[in-house]
Structure 1
């Protein structure tokens, strides 16, 4: 049997911190992170170079109550530290799975993780290591969605994958409207004119301007990530 070939050589996977929680209220669910790592391992086994940008909502959620009334920049820096914690946990699980992962942070914490340096990140990808980008863009007021668009453009990713709880973008909330249908494809302009809220405006504009296609899919659907890189009818593709 001929082995299926991926249609994308290098991808950027955007994972929310909440994707690591499983059924827990906050924190990291070990079984969930191991399942996600297994999905990533399947893709790297096909020869796909993978970089990951991860959010910190699952960690920050545990202290969010204390952030009420806090200066926004201070709260954002706390969120960046939460992404570093998630990146370390994800990389540890990958290394235990037999993969080689490197964490690169946009803020300097050199005793813990190495700083983000674009040529070094590209070198790691060429060596078939998984690169996990932490601390967002390193700046307050910018989301990890924006970091995903930025890092995706910087490393020359062919596709940014936004992993969500639903298997694509729908005409309405499928949980509330059983008649809602999934968009197979959308242009960036169509998504913006319909206010679909796929990513924050800065991230969305960056993907559009860099002609960097975006795929929205469910990380909770077994085999969905592999299906995406093999060109299957999975999720919603947003393109120029």
Structure 2
């Protein structure tokens, strides 16, 4: 990963316990991935001891003059910036490229950690929106009931569902009835706002603050023959 000059200076000061720009360093730390490469100009501005350490760690790598060319040699191919947001720059203040929590469970991997993580996120929420185009297919329907029993909290909860109404094998009325058998304190409704109606992926929105993206259906959480990946995003006002 590369950093523009001003951010690199801030980061190095932070490493030495000198940086007092808390907001900037927090934003850098949110994105930072090591190792960090330097341009020739950047390297010339650090003390001799650090130069030797950096050069020693790079081995036979030839340091470049241009930061965008140098970024091509990094793992993630990006440059942190606080002004630019076009590739290869990632704007630490607001960018479409984010740094989020994610987990991937391959075939035959135990899913208990994923369940405990999701259950913790649901623990104190008041409202959930779930988008799954195939919600009313038999296997998804059954998996969603298992998910609710294991993951949802026991208090009063508003649950909104978004799904495709074509090719269904169950009715939404059946879903409501089954959910109310689990807990009568849950208010089950269709999402009339069509929040994710054009989406291919599956989504869970918690209190309109935390978004969980499921790259496949919730049924894969329970099917060890399939892989299962989820991504957790904190939604800011700009999202």
Instruction: With a CA cutoff of 8 Å and minimum separation of 6, indicate the structure with the bigger relative contact order.
Output: 1
What TM-score, normalized by structure 2, do the two folds share? 0.25
- Structure 1 or 2: more helix by fraction: 1
The TM-score with structure 1 as length reference comes to 0.25
